[in-house]
């Protein structure tokens, strides 16, 4: 059977060469308008894109013969994965292809900041010669903070260690063993911010990482810290950077990514600041990286079209599971359960046990993938899916035990996560109650019913009169409404667990007022929004 693949966005020519070697016909037209692409796409079995082409649900309606779409790179934000999955179209990417190029670009930005290289170049080219003005500093002996010790963060660490930098890192899902192997010390986030002379981020943009550096938390920073971002725009609050620089809180900023690309007029004005150096998203823009991802995606897609291998697939398991409706509720529970568990887990928890009972035990393998996807999706610098979740977990040193249970249970289908390293909430169980109704039913031996949705305050307290009244009063004072609550205790007068669902997302200052109440301990804030 012959296949045809459409190559878009100026993908490296080696992509077409690899397909040709595999007997697959390709066409690489000049830039197509959305209308032209919609008219053309129906004739092809596969399509390779980079970041420019937007693969929407509407476009896929015209893709009558499409079997696989390949992203020559990491990010798949420009591809509607849900629409592709529902249509049975495989989506693939090349998560390793850009690692070295992005790590090297980050290191180049660090050195450029330290030695004022871009500013000095501009001065000399303009006929100036002010050596004193551009006096730099050595990176040797300086402390480098890295947020996110995934593939790219780890490669940056290895390179800057060779420059004599002392590397500290914050990554709640990297084990101490992994960090020690590459010569890095894991610390808490506030400690990292307070100690770092240079700070580089290698995480996705989430509610937890958005505005990680801003005027709001300026007091946490070491004075004069130099900031680098080659990960995702928005992790540093761009609008706050000029004042942070003018006040001397931040000594310099190097940006390769932005909240809007290309920047709008307002953002360009911010980038004019003399202590900000900036590049147009060049992290993956090396000849070697573009050739590597083009070669990889062609080989992967050819294998998939020939039903030989599905390496690099983002939604392969999802497509297979669409034909098995029985597993869908369990998989939805697993991902939501993982998202909750990660917000309750002790940091650097390396030993985990996943236990499955009832019908869920039949799907234990994929449900473990689902839990890991939920746990890791907000903490790694690449897109996490059912295919690669275990790879990310392995790279961070996770030790996972999978158990199918036959012990008597109060619920037909029970999933239990146990953190063997301990913690305040070390044992959590959940179950499916109905269509879209997923609940935690037990925490540390306390019976409780907690819907896996919305925003939740979870805490332990002494079981005595007035505890709930004090919490509800503190929430009322802040105009925060209670949507639902659940309490669990083992016996009268013992410690208890309380979960309060609220109608809005809460910030640290609002939570602090709850945490300060007498009798409240081990407060956690869980958000699914």
Is 87 in the same domain as 128? no
Residue 428 domain-assigned?
A: yes
Which of 22, 115, 159, 281 is an active site residue?
281
Is 88 in the same domain as 140? no
Residue 321 pLDDT more than 90?
no
pTM recorded for the entire structure: 0.74
Q: DSSP label at 236?
A: B
Contact 76, 91 (CB under 8 A): yes
Is 187 in the same domain as 311? no
Query: In this predicted model, what pLDDT tens digit does every residue of 112-141 receive, in sequence order?
Result: 999 999 999 999 999 999 899 999 999 999
Is 78 in the same domain as 109? no
**What is the distance between the alpha carbons of residues 461 and 353, in angstroms, rounded to a whole number?**
27
Residue 408 pLDDT more than 60?
no
The angle at the Cα of 65, spanning 61 to 69, to the nearest 5 degrees, equals 80
Is 213 in the same domain as 250? yes
Contact 174, 398 (CB under 8 A): no
DSSP 245-265: HHTTSEEEEEES--SSSS--H
The angle at the Cα of 500, spanning 494 to 505, to the nearest 5 degrees, equals 145
Is 393 in the same domain as 446? yes
End-to-end CA distance of the chain: 46
| CATH value at residue 185 | 3.40.50.720
Residue 131 domain-assigned?
A: yes
Residue 326 pLDDT more than 60?
yes
Q: Is 450 helix (H, G, I), strand (E, B) or coil?
A: strand
Mean pLDDT confidence for 235-250 = 96
- Do you know the residue count of the chain? 529
Is 391 in the same domain as 313? no
CA-CA distances (angstroms) from residue 311 to 92, 221, 316? 8, 42, 9
| 333 band by pLDDT with thresholds 50, 70 and 90 | very high
Query: In this predicted model, what pLDDT tens digit does every residue of 145-156 receive, in sequence order?
Result: 999 998 899 999
| CATH value at residue 349 | 3.30.1330.90
DSSP 396-435: TT-EEEEEEE-S--SSSSEEEEEETT--TT-EEEEEEEET
Q: How high is the pLDDT of residue 435?
A: 85
Residue 9 domain-assigned?
A: yes
Q: How high is the pLDDT of residue 322?
A: 63
Contact 525, 456 (CB under 8 A): yes
Is 106 in the same domain as 64? no
Is 77 in the same domain as 178? no
Residue 422 pLDDT more than 80?
no
User: 164 is in which domain, residue-wise?
Assistant: 99-278
Residue 384 domain-assigned?
A: yes
Residue 308 pLDDT more than 90?
no
**How would you list the strands of the sheet with 455-462, edge to edge?**
482-489, 495-502, 455-462, 520-527
Residue 310 pLDDT more than 90?
no
H helices present in 149-222, as ranges: 151-161, 176-181, 189-195
Residue 52 domain-assigned?
A: yes
Residue 396 pLDDT more than 90?
no
**Please, what is the average pLDDT of the chain?**
90
* Helix axes of 99-115 and 117-125: crossing angle, nearest 10 degrees: 70
Q: Is 232 a catalytic residue?
A: yes
Residue 1 pLDDT more than 70?
no
Is 105 in the same domain as 174? yes
Peptide bond into 503 cis (omega under 30): no
Mean pLDDT confidence for 388-401 = 82
Residue 283 domain-assigned?
A: no
Closest CA to 331 of 341, 321, 323: 321
In the numeric block, the tokens 């790694």 are attached to: 380
Contact 417, 341 (CB under 8 A): yes
| 475 band by pLDDT with thresholds 50, 70 and 90 | very high
DSSP 54-99: -B-HHHHTT-TT--EEEESSS--TTB-HHHHHHHT-EEEE-TTTTH
Is 159 in the same domain as 236? yes
| 312 band by pLDDT with thresholds 50, 70 and 90 | confident
Neighbours of 158 (CB within 10 A): 15
Q: Which residues of 182-193 are buried (b: 16+ CB within 10 A; e: fewer)?
A: bebebbebeebb
Q: How high is the pLDDT of residue 203?
A: 87
**What is the distance between the alpha carbons of residues 496 and 207, in angstroms, rounded to a whole number?**
30
Q: How high is the pLDDT of residue 296?
A: 95
Q: How high is the pLDDT of residue 195?
A: 97
Residue 75 pLDDT more than 80?
no
Is 336 in the same domain as 467? yes
Q: Phi and psi (nearest 5°) for 200?
A: -125, 135
Mean pLDDT confidence for 301-322 = 83
CA-CA distances (angstroms) from residue 420 to 20, 197, 397, 400? 51, 35, 14, 10
Residue 435 domain-assigned?
A: yes
Which of 36, 138, 207, 261 is an active site residue?
261
Q: How high is the pLDDT of residue 492?
A: 65
| 346 band by pLDDT with thresholds 50, 70 and 90 | confident
CA atoms within 13 A on the CB side of 362: 9
**What is the distance between the alpha carbons of residues 47 and 90, in angstroms, rounded to a whole number?**
11
| 411 band by pLDDT with thresholds 50, 70 and 90 | confident
Residue 380 pLDDT more than 90?
no
**What is the distance between the alpha carbons of residues 329 and 333, in angstroms, rounded to a whole number?**
6
Contact 169, 145 (CB under 8 A): yes
Q: List the beta strands (DSSP E) in 112-224.
A: 143-147, 166-170, 185-186, 198-201
DSSP 341-371: HHHHSPTT--EEEEEEEGGGGGGHHHHHHHH
Q: Is 48 helix (H, G, I), strand (E, B) or coil?
A: strand
| 412 band by pLDDT with thresholds 50, 70 and 90 | confident
Q: How high is the pLDDT of residue 57?
A: 94
CB within 8 A of 125, min separation 6: which ones? none
Contact 267, 273 (CB under 8 A): no
Mean pLDDT confidence for 477-496 = 83
CB within 8 A of 504, min separation 6: which ones? 455, 480, 481
Mean pLDDT confidence for 163-183 = 91
Domain count, the chain: 3
Contact 49, 78 (CB under 8 A): yes
Which of 50, 232, 439, 524 is an active site residue?
232
Residue 491 pLDDT more than 90?
no
Q: Is 281 a catalytic residue?
A: yes
Calculate the CA 97 to chain-centre distance: 18
Query: In this predicted model, what pLDDT tens digit does every residue of 31-70 receive, in sequence order?
Result: 899 999 999 999 999 999 998 899 999 999 999 999 999 9
Q: Is 261 a catalytic residue?
A: yes
Residue 498 domain-assigned?
A: yes
């Amino acid at each position: 059977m012959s296949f045809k693949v459409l190559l878009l966005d100026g993908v490296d020519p080696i992509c077409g060469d690899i397909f040709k070697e595999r007997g697959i016909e390709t066409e690489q037209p000049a830039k197509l308008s959305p209308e032209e692409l919609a008219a053309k796409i129906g004739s092809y079995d596969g399509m390779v894109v980079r970041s420019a082409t937007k693969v929407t649900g509407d476009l896929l309606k015209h893709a009558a013969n499409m079997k696989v779409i390949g992203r020559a790179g990491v990010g798949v934000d420009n591809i509607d994965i849900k629409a592709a999955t529902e249509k049975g179209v495989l989506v693939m990417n090349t998560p390793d292809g850009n690692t070295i190029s992005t790590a090297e670009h980050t290191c180049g930005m660090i050195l450029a900041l330290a030695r004022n290289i871009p500013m000095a170049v501009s001065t000399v080219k303009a006929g100036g010669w002010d050596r004193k003005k551009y006096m730099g500093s050595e990176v040797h002996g300086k402390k480098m903070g890295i947020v996110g010790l995934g593939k790219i963060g780890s490669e940056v660490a290895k390179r800057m260690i060779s420059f004599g930098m002392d590397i500290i890192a914050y990554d709640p899902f990297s084990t101490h063993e992994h960090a020690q192997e590459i010569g890095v010390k894991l610390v808490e986030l506030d400690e990292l911010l307070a100690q770092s002379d240079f700070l580089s981020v290698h995480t996705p943009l989430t509610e937890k990482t958005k505005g990680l550096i801003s005027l709001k938390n300026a007091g946490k920073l070491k004075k004069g810290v130099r900031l680098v971002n080659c990960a995702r725009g928005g992790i540093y609050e761009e609008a706050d950077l000029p004042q942070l620089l003018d006040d001397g809180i931040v000594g310099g900023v190097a940006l390769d990514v932005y909240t809007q690309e290309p920047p709008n007029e307002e953002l360009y004005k911010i980038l004019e600041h003399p202590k900000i150096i900036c590049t147009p998203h060049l992290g993956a823009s090396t000849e070697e990286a573009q050739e590597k991802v083009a070669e990889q995606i062609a080989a992967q897609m050819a294998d998939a079209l020939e039903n030989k291998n599905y390496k690099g697939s983002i939604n392969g398991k999802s497509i297979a599971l669409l034909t098995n409706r029985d597993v869908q509720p369990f998989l939805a529970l697993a991902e939501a359960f993982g998202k909750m568990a990660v917000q309750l887990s002790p940091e650097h928890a390396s030993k985990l046990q996943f236990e499955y009972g009832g019908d869920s035990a039949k799907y234990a393998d994929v449900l473990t993938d689902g839990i890991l996807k939920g746990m890791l999706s907000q903490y790694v610098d690449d897109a996490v899916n059912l295919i690669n979740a275990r790879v990310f977990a392995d790279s961070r040193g996770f030790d996972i035990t999978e158990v199918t249970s036959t012990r008597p249970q109060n619920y037909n289908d029970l999933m239990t996560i146990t953190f063997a390293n301990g913690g305040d909430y070390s044992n959590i169980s959940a179950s499916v109650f109905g269509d879209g109704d997923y609940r935690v039913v037990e925490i540390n031996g306390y019976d409780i019913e907690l819907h896996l949705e919305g925003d939740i305050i979870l805490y332990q307290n002494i079981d005595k009169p007035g505890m709930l009244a004090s919490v509800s009063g503190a929430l009322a004072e802040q105009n925060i409404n209670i949507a639902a609550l659940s309490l669990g205790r083992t016996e009268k007068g013992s410690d208890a667990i309380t979960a309060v669902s609220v109608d809005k997302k809460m910030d640290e200052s609002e939570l602090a007022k709850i945490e300060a109440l007498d009798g409240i301990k081990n407060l956690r804030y869980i958000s699914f929004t």
